[in-house]
Structure 1
């Protein structure tokens, strides 16, 4: 079987790493891929949003299944194009992917289905948004409506910060078209958690919960990033809480999309705030999370290729999916300056130092004559595994210490919330 994975980051590296373990021994391709994915897959020099060229390649090479990693091609309609050509593809169509592509769309779906989330208003007029913010007070959350690479959310602790955020997004166009509309939300408190699910029509299969660490620095300080590390499972997400999330959040949204003519197929990512009033939705994504994938897929005991095929073919309800009782922790090594402007081109050493308790996933790397160098804000995701979270954390940080590049920055407290509960 020939399988194409579309993407170039740590998420795609993790997907390929897991697919390479399939007893079906698929022939793997990755477009465009990175120096890490080359271990498992043949790189294809086509950009993730070049939909026609990707479909042409899949037709020409006889690709049996294509997996879409990042969100941008989903919103560009890649699944619609592949399906129109009779090609098997994993991911939601564009209309369903709007659950991530427009925060206002997602909020409206939740509102119609009675899904618990922060109260909100959306605006296309900056003055109206500013007036609403002043009326509500701070703290408050300002979100660019569209895709902003995980950086379009600003948690404003003061009115001044909120008004500055509105100016940055709506007047200065810091996120381009993504900021033509903003969603202004109430500020929620509690621990965050991510619950991803395989979805095929009306069938939902939950994955092991994970917890991301968005702020750049230890203790959840500093600006939001695309994610500085994750761990799984999450002790505060009990089986009872997970059942509540499925019943009150995920199933109503999946059923709602289907009833409105946009059935969902692929991975649905639900970002949650575990508030005193219960779990509430912070965001939905239309694909695997990054870096959540780097801790969730290592705990999958079933054949990932079978799971992907069952979602695409509408047989997920017949598919048994089993998960390990072990734990995983992923630490992101970021370039100096990330998430603001950051350096590229620093040589990375220690990339061959993984062992049976860890794996190094490439995210922002590039192969040059000097060796493999940094080529993005989030450079590497280093995952450690163990019988429990403490041993997984120890194995992750031991692996981190064997890798280096100039200016490398990482958080030193990934999984501490589970190991040293606060409050």
Structure 2
């Protein structure tokens, strides 16, 4: 069997590694991949948004299943592009991927389906948004670019001035076409969690939730990023809360998408805020999370490839997933200046000294003459595993101390609160 993963980050490295471990012994391909992925898969230098080239490569190389990592090709219609040639894809259709491609679409879906979420208003003109803010008395508010913005299109504005600044920045092109429409919504208070399910459009197979860290610096300071770390399991989430999320948010979402003619197949990711009045949906993504995937897949005891095949064949009913009891902690190593700017070309040392119980996923690296260099942004994902959060965290940070590149930055507080909860 031949399997291709589309993408080039740490999430895709984790996906390739998990799929390669299948008892089905697939021959692995990746496009465009990265130097870490290239050690376990054949890579093809094809951009993720060149859907025709990806399709042609899959057809020419007799790829049996293509797994799409990032949102861009899904929103762009890669699934339909492949279907036209009879090729199988793990990922939702373009119509269903609107749930990430448009915040306005997602919020209206939540309202129509009765899914608990924050109150909101949508705007396609700066003047109208500013006029709305002039009438609003309750702050903070959340200003979101309508389109996908690599996790950076969300601003929590603590007062009217900050909200107006976020509105003007979005309409001025800070997020490109993604910011041509915006959503302004109430700011929910509580604890945020990342929820993942595989679905065949009807049945769901819940994966483990994860806790991620969006802010660039310790103590949740600094700008939003694509994610600076994660851990699993979520120590504070009660089983009843997780069950409520599945029943009140996930299932109604999948059901409503089917009702409007956009059945969802693949991995659905919900960002959820657990408030005093119960869980509320923040947003949806149409793909695996990054870096949450890097802490979930090392705990997966079931065959990921078999699960993906079953989803495509509408055969998830009655299936269960086996999980390791180990805990996982991921620390993201980013380049100097991230996320506002990004340095590249710095040599990476220490990767040969990684201890047992640690995974290192390449996210933005280049290789030249057997040496790795940074390629900007989030460079490496270091994942520690262990029987407890404290041990998994210790392994992750011990490995981080072995790695070096100029300007390397990372958070030092990943999973600290989980240790405190674990000790209770």
- Name the TM tier (shorter chain): over 0.9
- Could you tell me whether the CA contact under 8 Å between 1:195 and 1:271 is conserved in 2? yes
For residues 314-329 of structure 1, the aligned pairs below 5 Å read 314-329=314-329
Alignment of 1:189-208 (within 5 A): 189-208=189-208
In the superposition, the TM-score normalised over structure 2's length comes to 0.97
Residue equivalent to 2:165 = 164
**Number of the residue aligned with 1:248:** 248
Secondary structure of the corresponding residue to residue 45 of structure 1: coil
State whether residues 205 and 319 of structure 2, in contact with CA within 8 Å, keep that contact through their aligned partners in structure 1.
no
The answer as to whether partners of 2:197 and 2:269 remain within 8 angstroms in 1 is yes
SS at match of 2:270: strand
Cα drift, residue 368 of structure 1 = 2.6
Runs of 4+ in 1 over 3 A off after TM superposition: none
Distance in 2, Cα, partners of 1:354 & 1:260: 49
SS of residue matched to 1:205? strand
Distance 2:345 2:159 in 1: 38
Match status 1:2 vs 2:5: no
Provide the C-alpha distance between the structure 2 equivalents of 1:306 and 1:202, rounded to a whole number of angstroms. Answer: 18
Q: 8 Å contact 2:205–2:320 — kept in the other structure?
A: no
* Counterpart for residue 297 of structure 2: 297
User: Quick check: 1:71 aligned with 2:63?
Assistant: no
1:37 aligned residue: 37
1:370 positional shift = 7.8
Uncovered stretches (5+) of structure 1, i.e. residues with no partner: none
1:91-106 map, 5 Å: 91-106=91-106
1:211 aligned to 2:201?
A: no
Shift of residue 353 of structure 1?
A: 2.6
Secondary structure in 2 aligned to 1:352? helix
Match of 1:28 in 2: 28
Contact 2:91 2:266 in 1 (8 A): yes
How far apart, in 2, do the equivalents of 1:178 and 1:154 lie?
Answer: 14
Summarize the Cα distance change of 1:86–1:318 in structure 2 as closer, same or farther, 3 Å threshold. farther
Who is 1:353 aligned against? 353
Q: Structure 2: how far apart are the matches of 1:22 and 1:149? A: 30
1:259 Cα deviation after fit: 1.2
CA distance in 2: counterparts of 1:155 and 1:108, whole angstroms: 21
Question: What do the CA deviations read for 1:120-146 (whole angstroms, capped 9, x no partner)?
Answer: 000001111112223224211100000
Structure 2's unaligned 5+ residue stretches are none
- Asked whether the equivalents of residues 347 and 370 of structure 1 are also in contact (C-alpha less than 8 Å), the reply is no
Q: Which residue of 2 aligns with 1:395?
A: 395
Residues 400-419 of structure 1: pairs in structure 2 closer than 5 A:
400-419=400-419
2 CA distance for matches of 1:370 and 1:323?
Answer: 36
Aligned ranges for residues 103-252 of structure 1 at < 5 Å? Answer: 103-136=103-136, 137-170=138-171, 172-252=172-252
Equivalent residue of 1:392, what SS?
Answer: helix
* 1:23 Cα offset (Å): 1.7
Query: What TM-score comes out, normalization by structure 1 length?
Result: 0.97
Match runs of 1:351-390 below 5 Å: 351-369=351-369, 371-390=371-390
- The root-mean-square deviation of aligned C-alpha atoms, in Å, is 1.3
